[in-house]
Chain A
Amino acid sequence: MILLRLALKSLLSRMVTVSLTIFAIALSVALFLGVEKLRTGAKASFADTISGTDLIVGARSGGVQLLLYSVFRVGNATNNVTWQSYQDIANRPEVNWSVPLSLGDSHRGFRVLGTTPEFFERYKYRGGRSVDFADGAAFADLFDAVVGADVAAKLDYQLGDSIVVSHGVASFTEHDDKPFRISGVLEKTGTPVDRTVFVSLEAIEAIHIDWQGGGRSQNTISAEDVRAMTLTPKAVTAAMIGTNTRLQIFRLQRWINDYAQEPLLAILPGVALSELWSLIGVAETALIAVSVMVVITALLGMAAMIFAGLNERRREMALLRAIGARPWTILLLLTTEAALMSLTAVALGMGLLYTGLWLARARIDAAFGLYIEITPPSPREWLVLCCVIFAGILVSLLPAVRAYFLSLADGMQVKH
């Protein structure tokens, strides 16, 4: 008890160096916990990119690839799913709902997705949240388009603006004969939806109706004439499926994967997402490694500070020895000081982190669509915090052991 008071008083008497050291450790702790929160937040956000969809169906390829192009709009489909196959699946008794997805065109760097208005009801993210309209509504007219939040922000689009879809993902050919009118702008979701231009499935068919083999044919059909035509698509790129009960998911998945007329693939989005995350996991490990090193650096800084103070404290230690302190007491005094500093630093670090999170949360969500929950430290984080305090005591053993031997050698009086 007396040791604790002595340690406290001694630390208070060296306010400036001690508080700088504590602040360095506190910052490193806040950084570490911050990275931890961001990491779990990013992971949760990522896993929550799509929810409520039981299966994603596409042409047979890899599960991750299907997920990448159908949900993340990265890469291209190797093949399409014929409209007939899609109808066969959609009419299965297990299927509660299905939303077709037709990809392939783009608008100024953003992918264009042909789908049905049901998409906006069925697409869920972050544990069941639906996509809301910031402005306007889903497409009512054939040439209506809905844009995601990033598209609207980047290209400064308003309701009613006219846009033109380009053919393919990176081409200079434009479907400029059939311009679209923006009928709706979506709220920020933090998912690939933000970077997508949505049009109806029929519109995709309409803009390609006078195209043959990748080029525009001689007999052009005007935007007016096309409205009178039947616009049933011949194929779709993928489809989102919801089943009646969860138990039917695997039966339906097997049925689709065994579909004889066409090689198809049905995946569970959650499984494919975690597969994909495990690929990104390396960056995660690197982040943790860096923040661990920052913590270690700060703790070594503390050890260096204690070391530096050792020489001028030799008299103090000799005095303590003279009035009856054991060399062990000296060692304990120094480690107690380190423990107090680490403890204060951890508490301060947590304070910094939570204040920072509280201040920045809304901004992070708006800017990156990364929703960070403010939760008390997880058992894992508590463990890390205890490790920091323990490591602080451990590194302080270096100067403390030196002090132990110095006080043995010095005895009651410091010679020089």
Chain B
Amino acid sequence: MKAAIDLKDVAFTWQGRTQFTLTVPNLEVAEGEKLFLLGQSGSGKSTLLSLICGITQPQRGAVVVDGVNLGTLRPSARDRLRAERIGVIFQMFNLLPYASPLENILLQLSFAPERRKRLGNAQDEALRLTAALGLDDQLVLHAQTTELSIGQQQRVAAARALIGRPKLIVADEPTSSLDANSQAAFLDLLMQQAEEAGATLLMVSHDARLAASFDRTLDLAEIATTKRHTS
């Protein structure tokens, strides 16, 4: 079985006022797996996600996503691969404030023509997803994005990540802005939809209580080492 994510001997150094190095000797995520990565802030989780999404390139080692070694691709091809095969959800600021919720969802497809091709009517699919995630059609179609509550915004973001059935969903603290009750509800819906779409789910959070429903849990501190030194 092909791995959804495969990192081998990866080292990335960020050059700034302080030097920061992240090394990941080995990380493998199976296709369809739901993996929970436990990481405190500053543990290098954002850097790790950037590497997996092909936004940043490691100085050493190989990052393979859905069978493609990102290091062999040109930057534009990496951007295209991210658009086509990965759906991303952040902790906050997931949506363009000036576009409607529906437009925000459909925007993903304009960068990913293959995902669009998989769908008949893109708007119907967007509404099906938002309905499944517990959002009212009227809200998605007519509300201003800025009027939505944070919980509603996260659901719209999840619909955007899921639309067109990407291979991988990357979620970076997607529930941290939500209250405890909505956290579980949101997570359930997200996992359900990811499963339905046949997507691999990689979620990073500092909150260990959320790990229960995942297939596997890894502590970032165990799979990766970070080094900071002021130069």
The interface centre, meaning the residue of B55, B84, B90, B112 with most chain A CB atoms within 10 A of its CB, is: B55
A323 engages B107 (CB within 8 Å): yes
A322 engages B53 (CB within 8 Å): yes
List 4 other contacts, CB 8 Å, given A9-B103, A323-B82, A324-B108.
A2-B107, A319-B96, A324-B79, A324-B84
Select A9's contact among B84, B95, B98, beta carbons within 8 Å.
B98
Contacts of B103 in A (CB 8 A): 9
A322 engages B110 (CB within 8 Å): no
Select B49's contact among A321, A327, A412, beta carbons within 8 Å.
A412
- Give the nearest-CB partner of A315 in chain B: B93
- Give the nearest-CB partner of A316 in chain B: B96
Per the bound structure, the CA–CA distance linking A328 and B76 in Å amounts to 9
Select B97's contact among A2, A13, A326, A327, beta carbons within 8 Å.
A13
- A117 within 8 Å of B (CB atoms): no
B82 engages A324 (CB within 8 Å): yes
A319 engages B79 (CB within 8 Å): no
Select B90's contact among A9, A13, A316, A322, beta carbons within 8 Å.
A322
Question: Contacts A411-B55, A413-B46, A413-B90 hold; do A326 and B79 have CB atoms under 8 A apart?
Answer: yes
Contacts of B84 in A (CB 8 A): 324
Per the bound structure, the CA–CA distance linking A274 and B108 in Å amounts to 64
Q: Report whether over half of chain A's contact residues are helix, strand or loop; otherwise say mixed.
A: helix
Question: Contacts A319-B93, A321-B55 hold; do A411 and B112 have CB atoms under 8 A apart?
Answer: no
In chain A, positions 1-34 with a C-beta closer than 8 Å to chain B are 2, 6, 9-10, 12-13
- B134 within 8 Å of A (CB atoms): no
In chain A, positions 298-315 with a C-beta closer than 8 Å to chain B are 315
Per the bound structure, the CA–CA distance linking A319 and B145 in Å amounts to 15
A412 engages B50 (CB within 8 Å): yes
A6 engages B99 (CB within 8 Å): yes
Contacts of A326 in B (CB 8 A): 75-76, 79
- A325 within 8 Å of B (CB atoms): yes
Task: Name A residues whose Cβ lies closer than 8 Å to a Cβ of B.
Answer: 2, 6, 9-10, 12-13, 315-316, 319-329, 411-413
Smallest distance from the beta carbon of B192 to chain A beta carbons, Å?
22
B99 engages A323 (CB within 8 Å): no
Binary contact track B108-122/A, C-beta < 8 Å → 1, others 0:
101110000000000
Contacts of B76 in A (CB 8 A): 326, 328
In chain B, positions 40-84 with a C-beta closer than 8 Å to chain A are 46, 49-50, 53, 55-56, 75-76, 79-80, 82-84
Select B55's contact among A2, A9, A319, A412, beta carbons within 8 Å.
A412
Contacts of A12 in B (CB 8 A): 98
Contacts of A324 in B (CB 8 A): 79-80, 82-84, 108, 111-112
- B88 within 8 Å of A (CB atoms): yes
- B167 within 8 Å of A (CB atoms): no
Contacts of A325 in B (CB 8 A): 79, 83, 111
A323 engages B83 (CB within 8 Å): yes
Contacts of A327 in B (CB 8 A): 75
Closest 7 CB pairs of A and B: A324-B83, A13-B98, A324-B111, A2-B110, A411-B55, A326-B79, A322-B88
- Give the nearest-CB partner of B50 in chain A: A411
- B94 within 8 Å of A (CB atoms): yes
**What are 21 pairs between A and B in contact, CB < 8 Å?**
A6-B96, A6-B99, A10-B96, A319-B96, A321-B55, A322-B53, A322-B55, A322-B82, A323-B88, A323-B107, A323-B108, A324-B82, A324-B108, A324-B112, A325-B111, A326-B79, A327-B75, A412-B46, A412-B88, A413-B46, A413-B90
Per the bound structure, the CA–CA distance linking A270 and B38 in Å amounts to 89
Per the bound structure, the CA–CA distance linking A6 and B50 in Å amounts to 25
Contacts of A315 in B (CB 8 A): 93
- Give the nearest-CB partner of A11 in chain B: B98
Per the bound structure, the CA–CA distance linking A276 and B210 in Å amounts to 88
Smallest distance from the beta carbon of A14 to chain B beta carbons, Å?
8
- Give the nearest-CB partner of A414 in chain B: B93
Per the bound structure, the CA–CA distance linking A412 and B83 in Å amounts to 13
In chain B, positions 167-216 with a C-beta closer than 8 Å to chain A are 172
Per the bound structure, the CA–CA distance linking A322 and B46 in Å amounts to 12
Contacts of B172 in A (CB 8 A): 413
Per the bound structure, the CA–CA distance linking A10 and B50 in Å amounts to 26
